[in-house]
Structure 1
Amino acid sequence: MSSEKMLARIGGLLRQAESTTNPHEAQAFMEAAQRLATATSIDLAVARSHTSQRERRATPVQRSIRIGETGKKGLRTYVHLFVSIAAANDVQCDVAHNSTQVFAYGFDTDIDACEALYSSLLLQMVRASDAFIRSGAHRPVAGVTARLNFQLAFAARIGERLATAKREAEADAIRADAIRADTVRADLAGAAPEPTGTALVLRDKQIELSDFYQQTSQARGTWRGSKATVAPSAKARRAGDRAGREARLGPSPELPAGRRQLA
């Protein structure tokens, strides 16, 4: 599936999610979007593995994602959200020292999926944290501290949900691959045809990405924004985690132009 088709289908899931008031349906649509992104990534990885070296084949790229302007508060929680999404979509990231940019390393379609998910989930995270602060439920903790705790918990929960959806999609693909291989062997009366090897393809993709990152990245350290010291607020963390569990993907007209500044 091409990047454009993938984004169009994800956009359809976003519209379906926006039209439902059922939180269980909303969660299903979000997980379906991640599973679609994972399935597309797997399909393309398999296709790449069968492409002749003489043919033009897709290779990893590095893309700069603008997170926000210098001095804007809360940028590290925005970065934490993007990095959490990226981890579930085979994209490695470097982060500018002031958290204004993320440098994403991966295949184009995987980075596109990250931007699509991020553009929707960022709006939800900000709106949910604003509503929490306006409610006064964070008191007596300062609003700034509560917001950081809320958004960090939201991003962490989103990362866990997307990672689960990715693992399930990969497991489904590997099981389907095994069934196809068994069917072919049976048809050939015990012969041993060359399997498509989805698991092997995924491993090779990770190696290719790792090599590309090591050769391309100029990072001089490790981003620790999400681990930086933040005064704890148990109430804000619980609220952020709950919002992350209930998050749904809303409409995102920016999908076809997702490379512009997202926040």
Structure 2
Amino acid sequence: MATSVRAPRVELVRDDKLLTRISGLLRQAEGTDNEHEAQAFMQAAQRLATAASIDLAVARSHAGGNRRVTPEQRNIAIGTAGKRGLRTYVQLFVAIARANDITCDVASNSTFVYAYGFPGDIDTCEALYGSLVVQMVAASDAYLKSGAYKSETSARVVTERRGWVSRRVVEEKQLSPITARLNFQSAFAERIGKRLVQARDEARAQAVANDGGQSDSGTALVLRNKEIEVRDFHQETSTARGTWQSQSASAGYSEGARRAGDRAGRRARLGDDVQLDGTRGALEA
């Protein structure tokens, strides 16, 4: 584990060697038709990213002076205003961000996200998102083209008025394509988040175990300090107000579409087309 490396050099090693190794794991995930192997490769990539992030955090804790790497705020373009389904794209990004020590603020129209965290962690987050968002859209397109959603229904709570009396009731109707897509993609994002968090937690537990397994070990304290540093940076920098919601209040709920999205999230693989330099434009309308 790195102990006394200057922060700028550590970040350079991460950008070149680490992302090359992660890319190799992602290509292996893409190259197998076995769902369990693909999941294992993807989670291995997340564990590697987490382990490297821990090493970098330890290195930063030993780096002093003005050259020490600090958190940054980065604007991540999600899509153009008016595009349907931007909330689910944001939901996916936020789910990936949580697994990589990133705090997010979201634009009210979901067109962009402000990511707060260390540069290398944001790079990893963007790389994962750049591949997974394409898979999410492709999987939801295939689900709609299959016609499976046509036998499903959606439910939402509406206000029913009769004269002076009003009451809230559950309205159930045939599932529309847009509602099917939103439910599918939302469940996909949730499943991806759970998989990545599991991989992250395993990597952290292993790192702490290697350092003695105590809650006050050097690694555990470094991780806690890193979390506090990002949180404090966000509180000092953010001007966000209110709470972002992943689902619109008017959106219907479909158990069938969500089950399909969850299955797709379990099968999701990362391909060799992922952009590991952290650059990605907004999705087109």
Which TM-score applies when normalising by structure 1?
0.90
**Of 113, 132, 136, the match for 2:147:** 136
User: What SS class does the counterpart of residue 73 from structure 2 fall into?
Assistant: strand
Query: Is 1:2 paired with 2:14?
Result: yes
Query: Is 1:33 paired with 2:53?
Result: no
User: What SS class does the counterpart of residue 249 from structure 1 fall into?
Assistant: coil
Deviation of 1:229 after TM superposition, in Å, equals 4.4
User: What SS class does the counterpart of residue 16 from structure 2 fall into?
Assistant: helix
Aligned partner of 1:214 in structure 2 is 235
Aligned partner of 1:187 in structure 2 is none
Query: Is 1:43 paired with 2:55?
Result: yes
Is the 1:31–1:162 contact (alpha carbons within 8 Å) kept by the matching residues of 2? yes
Aligned partner of 2:27 in structure 1 is 15
Gaps of 5+ in 1: 182-194
Deviation of 1:55 after TM superposition, in Å, equals 5.2
Deviation of 1:14 after TM superposition, in Å, equals 1.5
Aligned partner of 1:197 in structure 2 is 218
**Does the C-alpha gap of structure 1 residues 46 and 229 become closer, same or farther in structure 2, counting only changes over 3 Å?**
farther
Aligned partner of 2:7 in structure 1 is none
Bigger helix share: 1
Is the 1:68–1:101 contact (alpha carbons within 8 Å) kept by the matching residues of 2? yes
**Of 101, 106, 119, the match for 2:130:** 119
**Of 175, 178, 182, the match for 2:209:** 175
Deviation of 1:50 after TM superposition, in Å, equals 1.2
CA distance in 2, matches of 1:83, 1:42: 20
User: What SS class does the counterpart of residue 149 from structure 1 fall into?
Assistant: helix
CA distance in 1, matches of 2:241, 2:104: 13
| AA aligned opposite 2:112 | Q
**Does the C-alpha gap of structure 1 residues 137 and 59 become closer, same or farther in structure 2, counting only changes over 3 Å?**
same
Query: Is 1:225 paired with 2:246?
Result: yes
Deviation of 1:227 after TM superposition, in Å, equals 6.5
Gaps of 5+ in 2: 1-12, 151-173
Query: Is 1:260 paired with 2:280?
Result: yes
Is the 2:22–2:48 contact (alpha carbons within 8 Å) kept by the matching residues of 1? yes
User: What SS class does the counterpart of residue 272 from structure 2 fall into?
Assistant: coil
Aligned partner of 1:243 in structure 2 is 264
Q: Deviations over 1:173-206 (max 9, x none)?
A: 0001117x9xxxxxxxxxxxxx960000000001
Query: Is 1:161 paired with 2:172?
Result: no
Is the 1:65–1:102 contact (alpha carbons within 8 Å) kept by the matching residues of 2? yes
Aligned partner of 2:82 in structure 1 is 71
Bigger strand share: 2
Is the 1:66–1:261 contact (alpha carbons within 8 Å) kept by the matching residues of 2? yes
* Residue-pair matches, total: 247
Aligned partner of 1:148 in structure 2 is 182
Is the 1:119–1:262 contact (alpha carbons within 8 Å) kept by the matching residues of 2? no
| AA aligned opposite 1:170 | R
Is the 2:86–2:111 contact (alpha carbons within 8 Å) kept by the matching residues of 1? yes
Q: Percent identity?
A: 63
Q: Deviations over 1:81-112 (max 9, x none)?
A: 00000000000000111101010000000000
Is the 1:65–1:103 contact (alpha carbons within 8 Å) kept by the matching residues of 2? yes
Query: Is 1:110 paired with 2:121?
Result: yes
CA distance in 1, matches of 2:66, 2:29: 40
